[in-house]
Amino acid sequence: MTKLWGGRFAGQTNALVHRYQSSIGFDIRLYGEDITGSVAWARGLADAGLLSANERDTLLGGLEAVRAEFAGGAFVVAPEDEDIHSAVERRLTELVGPVGGKLHTGRSRNDQVATDFRLWVMRACDQLAEAVAETQRALTDSATTAVELPLPGYTHLQHAQPVTWGHWALSHFWPLERDRARLAAVRRTAAVLPLGAAALAGTAFAIDRVALAARLGFEAITPNSLDAVSDRDFAAEFLFATALLGVHLSRLSEQLILFSSAEFGFVRLDDAYSTGSSIMPQKKNPDTLELTRGKSGRLIGHLTGFLATLKGLPSAYDKDLQEDKEPVFDAADTLALALPVMAGLLRTMALRPERMAAQLEGGLLATELADHLVRRGLPFREAHHLAGRVVRHAEERGVPLTALSAAELAAISPQFGPDTTEVLTVPAALAARSVPGGTAATAVRAQLAEARRLVGQSDEQDGQ
């Protein structure tokens, strides 16, 4: 078989080596970017006087014919096609004849692959950001249906203070909002054109790189040709953005796995988003959530693995860089499923307010006791200590704080006063936290309005 680079070789490549170094198995999905890049390059060559208008049009027609073959599923990969770049050029030359051999003038696969991959990552950032926004909308809609619904808030997974469902749901919205910002930043990192760097030293032809960048939708051109062909920061940043997004989805998953257990029972997952057990008839398993939690490990692995690949590389292109694509593709594919699955699960799960209410009886109001004494002028440390004694007293009696009488409280400290029982309620605890970002209904509604605006939703809030 004939290689692009076969001229200086007398012998054939070992068959296993050919398989080992081929990337067509996975980089075939870059065909659109590869052809778009070549179309722009052919125009650039013509503008620089290196192709006649006729030759340019022949190449452009041929490239579009190859694109149509890929799009229609008619493209046949030949044994010598080691990657998408050689495959496109081989087929182009078959279709248009020897003029196809002019396309690679002043260009290398090194700047070509960097260009293709950047274009792909730019599009992937846009698509992922939209999928993230859809999951965020599922969270804002969940928050909207139960803004003021109280449930226990936890720290250390122990009862802490009451919060509202709106507040809880939005606590998972904001990490995703930052993920979207990160994806937009990765897109900007990627939107720098390497084409014109050629193999490493810069192309020897008078190509207008700035015009090329504009034609391809890049925002800038790379300032150094050696850096241009070795830089994969955009891929590493993409892997970080996706790993952290995965971590955020994993944390949400973990919380919903707990909330859907018999012990919590705060939510009930829809049948469409859970699975059963082959042996235990009562089981309804949160497999989707467990998979998302599990897959976050794989996303982290892609990032650390790829950073390890990069760390030993000297200047310019090394074949190690071919290892950039599979982790990036897999991260994008993983999240392209995980995000809509999460959105659907959130939209279909049922809330169980009665189960949440049953858990609000315990010690969650102890902070209210301390805050009450602070409002009466006691130093917080002293107030905290007295409230702690009330908690111990309630525990010794085996009753919730709210069951203690005013006399019992006064016996611990006269400072508690007869109005203490008024602050010892869930609504009072929630209402007190009206600081911006707090869990009071007014604050959560303001937060919700801002969240809905950020993901393009109207400000209509049903409440309940």
Interface residues with ligand ARG (CB under 6 A) are 23, 27, 83, 109-110, 113, 317, 319, 321-322
Give the three-class secondary structure for 316.
coil
Burial 310-334 (b: 16+ CB within 10 A, else e): beeeeebbeeebbbbbbbbbbbbeb
Distance CA 387, CA 456 (A): 45
Cβ contacts of 370 within 8 Å, gap of 6 or more:
380, 383, 384, 386, 387
Task: For ligand ARG, give the closer residue by CB, 75 or 317.
Answer: 317
Task: For ligand ARG, give the closer residue by CB, 328 or 346.
Answer: 328
Residue 440 DSSP class: S
Distance CA 299, CA 292 (A): 10
Task: For ligand ARG, give the closer residue by CB, 110 or 135.
Answer: 110
Task: For ligand ARG, give the closer residue by CB, 228 or 252.
Answer: 228
Task: For ligand ARG, give the closer residue by CB, 229 or 256.
Answer: 229
Joined tokens for residue 110: 């090194």
380 HSE (CA, 13 A, CB side)? 3
How far apart are CB 337 and ligand ARG at their closest, in Å?
25
Which class for 89: exposed (0-12), middle (13-18), buried (19 or more C-beta within 10 A)?
buried
How far apart are CB 322 and ligand ARG at their closest, in Å?
4
How far apart are CB 318 and ligand ARG at their closest, in Å?
9
How far apart are CB 88 and ligand ARG at their closest, in Å?
12
Cβ contacts of 213 within 8 Å, gap of 6 or more:
193, 219, 220, 221
Which helix (DSSP H) or strand (DSSP E) does residue 355 occupy? helix 353-358
Q: What is the dihedral of CA 236, 227, 216, 184, to 10 degrees?
A: 30
260 is catalytic: no
Cα 81 from chain centroid (whole Å): 33
Give the three-class secondary structure for 455.
coil
Residues 343 and 253 sit within 8 Å (Cβ to Cβ): no
Task: For ligand ARG, give the closer residue by CB, 98 or 314.
Answer: 314
Task: For ligand ARG, give the closer residue by CB, 115 or 296.
Answer: 115
Task: For ligand ARG, give the closer residue by CB, 55 or 324.
Answer: 324
How far apart are CB 303 and ligand ARG at their closest, in Å?
19
How far apart are CB 113 and ligand ARG at their closest, in Å?
4
List the catalytic residue out of 86, 156, 159, 384. Answer: 156
- Three-point CA angle 302, 114, 56, nearest 5°: 150
Task: For ligand ARG, give the closer residue by CB, 83 or 371.
Answer: 83
How far apart are CB 241 and ligand ARG at their closest, in Å?
21
List the catalytic residue out of 18, 142, 261, 277. Answer: 277
464 HSE (CA, 13 A, CB side)? 15
Cβ contacts of 377 within 8 Å, gap of 6 or more:
none
Distance CA 459, CA 448 (A): 8
Identify the residue whose tokens are 């070789």: 9
156 is catalytic: yes
Given phi > 0 = left and psi -120 to 50 = alpha, else beta, which region is 267? beta
Residues 371 and 424 sit within 8 Å (Cβ to Cβ): no
* Nearest residue to 142 (alpha-carbon basis) of 404, 350, 384: 350
How far apart are CB 22 and ligand ARG at their closest, in Å?
8
How far apart are CB 4 and ligand ARG at their closest, in Å?
9
**Annotated active-site positions, please?**
156, 277
